[in-house]
Chain A
Amino acid sequence: MKLVLDGPQQMLAQSAADFMAANDAILRLRELRGSSDELGYSPEVWREMADLGWTGIPFAEADDGLGLGLAEVVLITEALGRGLAPEPYVSAVVLAGSLLDGATAEQKAVWIGSTIAGEKRLTVAYQEAGSRYDLSNVQTLAAPSGDGWILSGEKVHVLDGYGADGWIVAARTLGDAASTDGITLFLVPADRAGVSVVRQRRVDSRNAAILHFDGVITGNGDVIGQVGGGLAPLTSAVDRATVALCGEMLGGMSEAFDRTITYLNEREQFGVLIGTFQALKHRAAKMFIERELVRSVVMSAARAVDEGAEDATIQVSNAKARCSDAYILLTNEALQMHGGIGMTDEHDIGLFMKRARVSEMTFGDAAFHRNRFGELLGF
């Protein structure tokens, strides 16, 4: 494993940065939040991202993808994170995309090509009220009926769940609510009878949804993977999406940090630039060190998963715990150093702090991942 970008990776990172510089994502986020546009992102920009090939990165070449890995995915998500872009990359390409890897040929034919083209998108509905970060805590019921199952239950905080063309839903075909066996993944198209969608409004304004399943009829053709064996692929997909999100968090904290350093070089108080104050310099230096540590762990987690390393999940938990803590530290400090102006809605810095908190609580917070790190190593 080499923790350095090769030539093609440098070019990819540069082209992602160039695209984001030409498309003010924060402006887009501001325009879309609270408007009547429930989607919360721009389908046109999403299509442009697809045209650039970003949506094909992690899909196999046999499925018309680029056959690249998370090492490349995090370059894209870092650029997206710098601009707080609201487009559904992590949910559609990485989270749902990873589960499509284990889908049937029929399912792949419908969904992979259209995802890569930016025409359709899926997301994954796994979280329920009270399940927190425990993927095995599933109460949504899939009751046997004839040759299939009838789904009933509720999913919350479904990432980019509003306006999706379908959802991959974790439901229980067997066992009690905490059992690790008996979870089955169903691909439910958006037009299936009995599903209702409510747009969930969250602190960072990005797309999330609450899904109600009321007697939704499913069949064998809707199942992804093995009946009752859904937890393992779900965990793996969430791990992959976690790394992608870590890239986004690295980008967001880097942008908040850079803007803060710029501010320290512009703002005058007591007749001098506030960047001359050692009380702020030392904190800025510590922020820099934290950001450097984050870059290292994001790069190593991505490569560990790509290479199927023995310690891959350990690296994923290490990265997510560190990203969570560092993104919060850097955005809290960024807001403090901006002073009163940072508290205004007009200033962008608060948007990064909101995004930091929502990211922290997506796919497990720092405490969850520290505990998981300890469990995996037998501490």
Chain B
Amino acid sequence: MSDLDSFRQEVREWLEDKVPQAIRGKVEDREWWPGGGRKAVHTHPESTEWMEIAASRGWTAPGWPAEYGGGGHTKEEAQVVREEIYRMKVPPALSGFGTSMIGPTLLQYGTEAQKQDHIPKITSGEIRWCQGYSEPNSGSDLASLQTSAVRDGDVYVINGQKIWTSGADQADWIFMLVRTDPDVKKQAGITFILVDMTTPGVEAKPIRLISGASPFCETFFENVVVPVENVISDVNSGWTVAKALLGHERSSIGGMGGGDKAMLPNMAKRYVGESDGRISDPVLRDGVIRQEMDALSYAMTTKRHSDSLDAGHQPGPESSMFKYYGTELNMRREELMLSIRGPQSRGWEGEGVETPELLQTRTWLRSRANSIEGGTSEIQLNIIAKRVLNLPD
């Protein structure tokens, strides 16, 4: 038995012993996913219990150094931990901006003191993070952001407004981009800074979306006082830090396509009927086939990319391709599901439609943001044209 096999065996036994029964099999249900934070709402107490059990082994972030509460595992071992958790259909021990975005950024750019201050509270699930990038007048042109941070002795004073701050109303801290120099090229006057959401002058207001849900907020900053120690990397070098972080966001949004191959055809057979074992409407059947072929082709492309990285090739700007195609694929899938459900996809709430139908109508509406958030589809095409194809400005 290889070292990795015996490690897997050990992980499997530990999980079998420790994971609360109630959360097993709940991976598909987002309500069961632990998000951590001081304001966490305990719909399912076993979620928090599971997060704390995992944190005790460093498995909320198995690949991070043990000194900051991570698992201290190799890349391969960390993958084994994730696989074994998924094998039991148990939700990840912790999700959100802490483990996926700010944690890796702090590990890369933070000082030792910043790492000691923040990372253990991410891995333990104590602190939940949100992201403050976009502003009402700075969408695709992110570098034009205006929220200002003015130095006053040992502190910065922040004034301005952020928008599309995911989960800001539930977050304890925010990592954000602020303008520290208005007199230079716009990318050169931006700083990456961390702010405690309980600081006086910070206010988060949820935004109601076309789907009826409120996953985002507008967040206001009025004379918010922040210690200079909260700056990550150098003053005015925030754009470099932000770009590293956006790469994470693009690949995670782009990765939303895919899923169960039989799901769409089975749904189509249920709604429009089948003849000789096939989806009876030939036009809809062709739509389902096209969707599944595109999904397979996309899956093979992400596999090729990952195999290529494993073989030691350097990643390049082609990751914009995944954001573009992955989101377009997911949005087409949602639209196709509406077509399959047909008249039943028209419900908003109340009688006459079943819950999964209501939910799908809402996920379709939510999916329309996929090609806007994390850099619009048009921005991704610009990046490919400029950095991959070297077309002239």
Chain A interface (Cβ < 8 Å from any Cβ of B): 2-4, 261, 264-265, 273, 275-276, 278, 281-282, 284-286, 288-289, 292-293, 295-297, 299-300, 314-315, 318, 321-322, 370-371, 373-375, 377-379
Say whether A284 contacts B389, CB under 8 Å.
Answer: yes
- Number of residue pairs spanning A and B whose beta carbons lie under 8 angstroms apart: 114
Counting CB contacts under 8 A, is B303 at the interface?
yes
A370 and B301 form a contact (CB under 8 A): no
* Contact status A4-B304, CB under 8 Å: yes
Closest residue of B by beta carbon distance from A289 = B321
- Report the bound CA distance from A204 to B98 in whole Å: 58
Given contacts A300-B300, A318-B297, contact A282 B325 (CB under 8 A): no
Q: Mark each residue of chain B from 177 to 216: 1 if its CB lies under 8 Å from any CB of chain A, else 0.
A: 0000000000000000000000000000000000000000
Bound together, the chains give a CA A187 to CA B386 distance in angstroms of 54
Q: Which residues from chain A contact B300 at a C-beta distance below 8 Å? A: 3, 293, 296-297, 299-300
- Is A4 a contact of B289 with CB atoms below 8 Å? no
B325 adjacent to A293 (CB under 8 Å): yes
The reply to whether A261 and B293 contact each other, CB–CB distance below 8 Å, is no
- Which 7 A-B pairs have CB atoms at the shortest separation, nearest pair first? A281-B385, A3-B304, A285-B384, A296-B300, A285-B381, A296-B301, A379-B265
Give every chain B residue within 8 A of A278 (Cβ-Cβ). 382
Report the bound CA distance from A209 to B118 in whole Å. Answer: 74
Complexed CA–CA distance, A371 and B283 (Å)? 11
Nearest-Cβ distance from residue A299 to partner chain B, whole angstroms: 7
B1 within 8 A of A: no
A-B contact pairs, 5 of them (CB 8 A): A281-B382, A284-B385, A285-B388, A295-B304, A377-B265
Q: Answer whether residue B292 sits at the interface, using C-beta atoms and an 8 A cutoff.
A: yes
Nearest to B293 among chain A residues (CB) is: A318
Given the known A-B contacts A281-B391, A286-B381, are A374 and B308 also in contact in the complex, defined by CB atoms under 8 Å? Answer: no
Write out the residue numbers on chain B whose beta carbons fall within 8 Å of the beta carbon of A2: 307, 311
Excluding A297-B297, A374-B289, 5 further A-B contacts by CB distance (< 8 Å) are: A261-B389, A265-B390, A281-B381, A281-B391, A289-B384
Q: How far is the CB of A377 from chain B (nearest CB, A)?
A: 7
- Give Cα distance in the complex from A264 to B290, angstroms: 31
| Contact yes or no, A379 B278, CB < 8 A | yes
Q: Are B389 and A379 in contact (CB under 8 A)?
A: no
CA distance A318 to B294 in the complex (A): 9
Question: What is the bound-complex CA distance between A377 and B278, given in angstroms?
Answer: 10
Is the CB–CB distance between A370 and B277 below 8 Å? no
Q: How large is the interface on B (under 10, 10 to 19, 20 to 34, 35 or more residues)?
A: 35 or more
In the assembled complex, how far is the CB of residue A11 from the closest CB belonging to chain B, in whole angstroms? 15
Which A residues are in CB contact (< 8 Å) with B220?
none
Contacts of A3 in B (CB 8 A): 300, 303-304, 307-308
Q: Does B349 contact A (CB under 8 A)?
A: no
- Residue of A273, A288, A318, A371 near B389 (CB, 8 A) is A288
Shortest C-beta distance, B383 to chain A (Å), equals 8
Cβ of B352 within 8 Å of any chain A Cβ, yes or no, is no
Measured in the bound complex, the distance between the Cα atoms of B265 and A278 in whole Å is 38
Is there an interface contact between B307 and A285, defined as CB atoms closer than 8 Å?
no
Chain A residue nearest to B279 in the complex (CB): A379
A374 and B307 contacting across the interface, CB-CB below 8 Å: no
Check B297 against A293 for contact (C-beta < 8 Å).
Answer: yes
With A275-B392, A379-B265 in contact, is A293–B301 under 8 Å at CB?
yes
- Which residue on chain B has the smallest CB distance to residue A273? B392
B303 touches A276 (CB 8 A): no
Hey, which chain A residues are within 8 Å of B301, CB to CB? 292-293, 296
Q: Mark B296-337, 1 if CB is under 8 A from A, else 0.
A: 111011011001101101000010010011000000000000
Q: Name the A residues within 8 Å of B279 (CB-CB).
A: 379
